[in-house]
Amino acid sequence: MTIGVLFVCTANICRSPMAEGVFRTLAQRAGLEKAFTIASAGTTSGHAGEPPTPAAVEAAARRGYDISGQRSRAVSNEDIAAADYVLAMDRSHMADLRWMAPRDKTECLQMFTKFGPMPGILDVQDPYGGTQQDYERALDLIEAGCKGLLAALTQEAKAAIAG
């Protein structure tokens, strides 16, 4: 049994693919990758099938995360049903997810920023259309949140691997 982790942003071309790549890499480095099913999706489908933005790929690559093979897709009810943790990058995504989620799955919906040392920050700002510095700032928050998430799930992950 694996722990399903789903990162959600608007179009699945900036924040959520970076989060998926960061979390996957951190889990691999910790030897916990087999404990997780890691994915990302967007609340909209306007960029379905497209790779992450070049700026997102570049920012991630500079820090050792390869997100170039990811492709955008819209979140589905099935994604939510299969996940143990559905992590919204901002409050608008949380509102969309609450509307979509089956009633028995609303407890798995959480704000991504809850897992990082980000007092007073509720949203990971969308860097789309911004500068490379905007992507770097978003990635700073994403790295902090993914490290916190992995720390919070490490015991559960070890138990999942042990069977």
CATH number, residue 138:
3.40.50.2300
Verify whether residue 15 is a known catalytic residue. yes
In a domain, 107, yes or no: yes
Q: Write down the catalytic residue from 79, 90, 126, 146.
A: 126
Q: How many other β-carbons are positioned within 10 Å of the β-carbon of residue 122?
A: 13
Verify whether residue 108 is a known catalytic residue. no
In a domain, 160, yes or no: no
Buried b / exposed e over 43-65, threshold 16 CB at 10 Å, is beeebeeebbbebbbebbeeeeb
What does the pLDDT read at residue 25?
Answer: 99
Q: What is the per-residue pLDDT across 120-156, written as a single tens digit (0 to 9) for each?
A: 899 999 999 999 999 999 999 999 999 999 999 999 9
Confidence grade of residue 119 (pLDDT, cut at 50, 70, 90) = confident
SS3 5: strand
What does the pLDDT read at residue 118?
Answer: 82
Domains in the chain, number: 1
Q: What is the per-residue pLDDT across 48-72, written as a single tens digit (0 to 9) for each?
A: 999 999 999 999 999 999 999 999 9
Q: Which domain holds residue 115?
A: 3-153
What does the pLDDT read at residue 101?
Answer: 94
Q: Write down the catalytic residue from 9, 14, 108, 146.
A: 9
Confidence grade of residue 163 (pLDDT, cut at 50, 70, 90) = confident
What whole-number percentage of the chain has pLDDT above 90? 95
Beta bridge partners of 4: 37
In a domain, 22, yes or no: yes
What does the pLDDT read at residue 143?
Answer: 98
Residues 6 or more apart in contact with residue 136 via CB below 8 angstroms: 59
In a domain, 146, yes or no: yes
Nearest to 146 by CA among 20, 37, 54: 20
Count how many Cα atoms sit within 13 Å of the Cα of residue 119 in the half-sphere of its side chain. Answer: 0
Check pLDDT > 90 for residue 89: yes
Q: Write down the catalytic residue from 14, 15, 24, 73.
A: 15
In a domain, 116, yes or no: yes
Verify whether residue 9 is a known catalytic residue. yes
In a domain, 28, yes or no: yes
What does the pLDDT read at residue 1?
Answer: 86
Q: Is the pTM of this model over 0.95?
A: yes
